[in-house]
Structure 1
Amino acid sequence: MKIYIFPFFIFFLLILPISSKSQVVNGDFEIVKPNFLPSNWGMNFTQPVVIDNETGEVSGDQILYTWCIPSMIYMSTESQSGQYAMEISNALNSTQNLVIPGVASIFNDATQDMPGWNPGVPIATAEIVNLIGFHYKFLPAGNDIAEAKVQVFDVDGNEIGTASIDIFGTNIQYQYLSEPIQYTSNAAPVYMYISFSMAKEGSTPTFGSRLIIDNVVTNSAALTVFANEKNAEITVFPSVVTNEINVDSKGQLHGALTYEIIDIEGKIVTKNTIEEVNNLYTMNVSDLSSGMYIISFDSPLGKISEKFLKQ
């Protein structure tokens, strides 16, 4: 007689008492556990095994992982800022020749390595949660389409807002994506669930694909930070723009400045050269459509890129 224990994937929401702020817990992935997992992010997965009652012998399907760590979510040193980012990859059930897509979900219990029955984090009263934004690199081994998703719930567990972003194409340099949350109710948000899936529903995952995520935010006010140490002396402001954006060079830039403004699809929408006046460069962006952009320019410190939201 044999007993079969199958793998499980559980994604279930419980509305818990509100006790912490709705910041994206470890959204910059700088908190890393000794087992190389990013704190507060992970997925529910157990390897299938078969136990023979008569002999006690344990056998099962062979699962291959992209790296030597037996996990599909782990820390990465390929960060956009800081020391670490989060990497997600697929696994391969080589016995069944079946690709298992990696899914990184946020959860509130830092003592655990996976969400268990409680993915998601609480939202503090009056906290603003109006978008999902993040930096990413995507290195698909096939025609993979990954997906980022945020869902917002009220006190009764009803979904009142959601946003999702498809991630596709090869991006070996960091890109920035964001999407506003579409609310369907005026009820107070009390809980949010954030996930990054290596396979959008209906798409086919490929073993060997990699997705690297850094600096996850859920509100516009958080878009000002995540500057690299090398460009900390040069300030780009404001992060939410109506007409003009400024670069304060603090004397480190001289003469003409050539800059590019890039939209979230990676297209250069503006390229211009301006003269420095009192160490302050001002760019008129009033003609841009509303949305997220990256402004990029060269400096003695190297190439500097910062994001801003055009209202």
Structure 2
Amino acid sequence: MKKILLSFALLTSLYGSSQILSEGFEGETFPPTGWTTETQVATRIWRPTTDYSATTQATFNITGAKSAIIAWIVDPNEANLISPTFSLDGYADATFSFNAKIGYEYMVAPNANGDLNVQISDNGLDWTTLWVEEDQGPYEDYETLAISLDLADYVGQSGLQIRFQYLATDADTLSIDDILITGTLGVNESFANKFSTYPNPVDNSVSISNNYNILLTDVSITDVNGRTVKSLKVNNLSQVEMNVSDLNSGVYFMNINTDSGKAVKKFIKN
């Protein structure tokens, strides 16, 4: 039982949490590199809070010197702030978080005049809403809302984007900041299942291959104590063979780095 528990702990710790996308809107240019904006009303587009008065900045800055803000207008407006593309291929899990300041009285109740729809897409055309301010429950006007969303349904996908869609008529100003997407690499079973290790158990040499044209960059082997016992640099091959004849009998983990993510495969040495 102790060896089984140790093996599980090793698998879950081989790759820690990594940062996939981060934006705090502190740069000199807006929108930041890779981000795009769209608007229905030319004078009401997503901007940095520093484009507005000191009073507005004091109300809508969230962290640092700048946040991203979309200003109220009496006319109907759809204004979008769209992230760069990112990939969750090779990840076991992923979390998306951000902070927001949103008026309650003219966005939720008693005047439901607008929405901040936080959406995701895998093609830039069709968008699925992950969160809208009504989901938050009662809150005070312009208090900082800390939002955290699970992206488990999108693990394994690439070409993803996040969109902050302001859809309103005579509603209220709002701001967002501290966009962060993180994930844990390496224990994604669906990605790991794309690889075959054979023979298993093994006597002399073990091979790793796939039929998805996933190119390997390096492979290492660790024992149940987490010690690296072999490593191999690979020149973008889809199949690799490693000599393990000198290893002691036991359970080992093959840690596979590729151009599409990371995977872990277990094998037994006779």
TM-score, normalised with respect to structure 1: 0.39
Specify which structure has the higher proportion of helix. 2
Q: Which has the larger radius of gyration?
A: 2
TM-score, normalised with respect to structure 2: 0.44
Higher relative contact order (CA 8 A, sep 6+): 2
